[in-house]
Structure 1
């Protein structure tokens, strides 16, 4: 198996993954690419102890060779603080775009890089890689603030036609014309209703609420339509309305993706202890991550077909036939 992974290579495994995704898109009611999410999780490298010099110099204490781990491609990264765990770890970080489906979050594509690579530098390569899949069109991509960047958000919208949605922290300084419920207000202090988003000018349009406009003294002279540009404050002037049902569903799906990553991380316990990777080196780790996504996608495709094609009473019927075959043998 190790020789097979070495000879096939990373790009060939990506082509296999894209072919299976194309087959999954043909299943009715399986994938819902309208809602998707991007997130990352740490992959602990299979290393033993701190970094050491692995050079052939006679005087290793005085030489200027760099200290490396037993996995030379692994790097030191940070992760969320957990009980009895260090903030820093040695290994890689797997960045994955996950799609919504009735069977749960479905991983579409992953890029695995050393742990010291920032999340925001991986978003555009992920979208560029995913363009190789035919008939796949993402619309809304929810992410945490680690993937937020003004330039990256605009490029994702202009080049890939994907709207990136991120949450707003509680300590964020809000503009003067926005209330605590993250709703823009008119000059008279009435909440505005989100109307539309112009992808050409990147303007977010709002309109006045008729219930408030009827009793307003400035109703005859008010334009009743207001706009904010997405480039001025991308986090606040989001194409996805704050507090809307769409944003609630996106944030709910992002939490499901985080739980899905935790289950995937726990699955490594059956391979090696302490959730460490069973392979070393960036190319082999990338192949291992792609194969994990392929196997999970195939399992969910099988689960979907069983839930939609196979009759619900099939198992009961087969068990009944099995019992009858034992109680009334054919030869009797």
Structure 2
């Protein structure tokens, strides 16, 4: 853990002493990083107990639940209050513009209430009377890009690309000629109002963690109002890497078998990638750790909320932060299925959160003695042939009692008739692997891969088109919102509720 503590101290010093880090040249960054690294290592005392908070060690210092975060139920009350009180309108919700012909955009446009978005994302000193671009316009531009144009850059999307400058053309995506997209964003159709990539970058940078989570909660509130959230009662946790291109290694130091690396992006780091034949074993960037919901009836999965951390930290560090954030927004978390990286091997996670985590048994963990390797039935000793009954578990492990009837076992007078097996990451996790339904929950875990495929391949997170942990996290929030909005629209699915939604849309 000392190498993580050293990296956290270096990261803190660089951010504190050099707030304009991104404006420095690569040569200046390299010299500064080398000096800070040498200074921290020289003054570091490895004999002392680590005092740095765990969120700082794993790169989540700016992603902690705060008092301003609303639950889904609180958001529903907030929305109902503002929709019923005309005195609280910040920016009137326009009706669907006739220029919006795309059915998907029509439905999403009808879902998003600009007044609510402005209230959630309004910066300090927000005065709508002196601006022509509102938070809702910027959000709509982000949603539009994630839904329709995830593969292009922000410069190209806004028309700031050199291609358009040389040919004196405006953006074909939000320029004057594309009335549908301008109407969806809320730009004027008869005035040359535009959004440039600098404004979109400033919008992402200005959002606090609380605002981004509340935006996520607002989308979940819409999902709940459509009846698409209540049916999900099994949750899923996993992660995926988000590579950051063109990262330059500024300084490096090795402690034991651990490397301390400082890159141009201070927060990112080098970690191992999941096995992929066409890519390197290592990735420089971040890992997105997501909490998703899975419908056990049809296997449908949707993303709920996520955290973003450097790529070099083990997945097991993020189960507790994800559960804490999920509970902070009011999710009813009881059972989480995950892969082997998320084992609750000592039951501490269950004790802290009350949430059961089910993962495939670790192959390296051997079965306790006197346990059948096929049925996992437990017997009391080497000479016992009668399987014991499972009583339950406590903070120490699982308890079993003798199931022999009176007179059935000759060893009863000398047998303790009870046995305790401690928690492990094998077949005796807080919920034993032999319990009914565990194997089905583990199989459901595979459906969660759909979440990452949608976020990365369809909504454009596979390639980070922004820089910095804060901005990439904002992009992941927008991609998550886009995924849920598409799910509610149902235009890319053959689910039965699609016909009903289209009927409601046409009637409106």
Q: TM-score, normalised by structure 2?
A: 0.50
Counterpart in 1 of 2:420? Answer: 228
3-state SS of the aligned residue for 2:212?
Answer: helix
Q: Distance in 1 between matches of 2:282 and 2:312?
A: 11
Counterpart in 1 of 2:237? Answer: 38
Q: Does 1:51 align with 2:249?
A: yes
Counterparts of 1:262-277 in structure 2, within 5 Å, are 262-267=453-458, 271=460, 275-277=462-464
Counterpart in 1 of 2:303? Answer: 107
Q: Is the 8 A contact 1:24 1:31 kept in 2?
A: no
Q: Distance in 2 between matches of 1:220 and 1:167?
A: 35
Q: Does 1:290 align with 2:477?
A: yes
3-state SS of the aligned residue for 2:328?
Answer: coil
Question: How many residues matched?
Answer: 291
Q: Is the 8 A contact 1:204 1:228 kept in 2?
A: yes
Offset at residue 133 of structure 1 (A):
1.6
Offset at residue 222 of structure 1 (A):
10
Offset at residue 99 of structure 1 (A):
1.0
Q: Is the 8 A contact 2:350 2:430 kept in 1?
A: no
Counterpart in 1 of 2:371? Answer: 178
CA shift in 2, pair 1:67/1:302, >3 Å: same
Q: Does 1:120 align with 2:307?
A: no
Moved more, 248-257 or 302-311: 302-311
Q: Distance in 1 between matches of 2:398 and 2:442?
A: 21
User: Normalized per residue, which structure has more helix?
Assistant: 2
Q: Distance in 2 between matches of 1:223 and 1:179?
A: 20
Q: Distance in 2 between matches of 1:123 and 1:67?
A: 25
CA shift in 2, pair 1:243/1:7, >3 Å: same
Q: Distance in 2 between matches of 1:83 and 1:298?
A: 33
Q: TM-score, normalised by structure 1?
A: 0.73
Counterparts of 1:85-104 in structure 2, within 5 Å, are 85-101=279-295, 102=298, 104=300
Counterparts of 1:198-277 in structure 2, within 5 Å, are 198=394, 201=395, 203-206=397-400, 216-218=408-410, 226-231=418-423, 233=424, 235-267=426-458, 271=460, 275-277=462-464
Offset at residue 229 of structure 1 (A):
5.0
CA RMSD of aligned residues (A): 3.7
Counterpart in 2 of 1:279? Answer: 466
- For CA contacts below 8 A with separation 6 or more, give which structure has more relative contact order: 1
3-state SS of the aligned residue for 2:325?
Answer: helix
Offset at residue 215 of structure 1 (A):
10
Counterpart in 1 of 2:190? Answer: none
Offset at residue 296 of structure 1 (A):
1.3
Q: Is the 8 A contact 1:194 1:205 kept in 2?
A: yes
CA shift in 2, pair 1:238/1:301, >3 Å: same
User: Normalized per residue, which structure has more strand?
Assistant: 1
CA shift in 2, pair 1:286/1:311, >3 Å: closer
Pick the aligned partner of 1:8 from 187, 190, 207. Answer: 207
CA shift in 2, pair 1:247/1:117, >3 Å: same
Q: Is the 8 A contact 1:46 1:71 kept in 2?
A: no
Offset at residue 205 of structure 1 (A):
4.2
Q: Distance in 2 between matches of 1:91 and 1:33?
A: 32
CA shift in 2, pair 1:219/1:104, >3 Å: farther
